[in-house]
Amino acid sequence: MSGARRGAGANRSPGAGGPSDAGRPAGAGVATDSGAAACPPAALAALREAIALSARARADGRHPFGALVLAADGRVLARAGNESAAGDDPTAHAETVAIRRAAADHGRRALAGGSLVSSAEPCAMCAGAAYWAGLGSVVYGLSESRLRGLTGDHPENPTLDLPCRTVFERGQRPVTVHGPLLEDEAAAVHAWFWQRTAGSGGGDP
Ligand SMILES: [Zn+2]
């Protein structure tokens, strides 16, 4: 499992705890690093489902990303694949679609303390959405940095390579982050996808 290969601090923001943070009050939103061992088994199972959703999105001609939102008790509140390149909503990443769907179907309170499980690390927008939705944790497969290596300069996916931990570290409440996990499985869905001829626009995540 590739996630275990990376050290606990390997995905930490370069600036975390560094000189750039001097003088800045320590926020409550310190994200937690953890490997597969610390990730609840149910969350790993959900991550495999998110990866399956990403494969389904690809099979449907959409960008290969998938996400689920789980309630604090582990119930699945919503599932989604990426819809940003297929429709007219450029913000319809799998994560934002799943969060909006979960809130619409179950009410925003149902999301409190829940989890966002995504086949790829949430971009800055999606990490922000998770924060504002009140979710308590994020589980992801493919890291943004590895995704960027896969997408290159593809015009449909100018990957925003900012670790989600960096976003959460600036928040005022903690968000626990588990990832990257099952990264090779998540990456396999992207094989050769970004080498194709560019189609309709819309970047993600
Ligand atoms: Zn996103």
The catalytically annotated residue of 49, 83, 95, 121 is 95
pTM of the model: 0.80
How many A from CA of 205 to the centre of ligand 1?
4
Whether 145 has a pLDDT exceeding 80, the answer reads yes
Q: Work out the mean pLDDT of the chain and round it to a whole number.
A: 82
| Confidence at residue 42, expressed as pLDDT on a 0 to 100 scale | 86
Residue 162 vs residues 12, 13, 14, 59, 111: alpha-carbon distances, Å: 11, 9, 10, 28, 24
Q: Rounded mean pLDDT of 5-31? A: 40
SS3 78: strand
DSSP 189: T
25: CA distance to ligand 1 center in Å? Answer: 28
Q: Is 95 a catalytic residue?
A: yes
Element (H, E) at 116: strand 115-120
Distance 82 CA to ligand 1 centre (A): 9
Q: What pLDDT does residue 86 have? A: 75
> What pLDDT score does 37 carry?
64
Q: Ligand 1 centre from 151 Cα, in Å?
A: 14
- With beta carbons less than 8 A apart as the criterion, state whether 182 and 48 touch: yes
- Considering 7-16, 148-157, 159-168, the range whose residues carry the highest mean pLDDT is 159-168
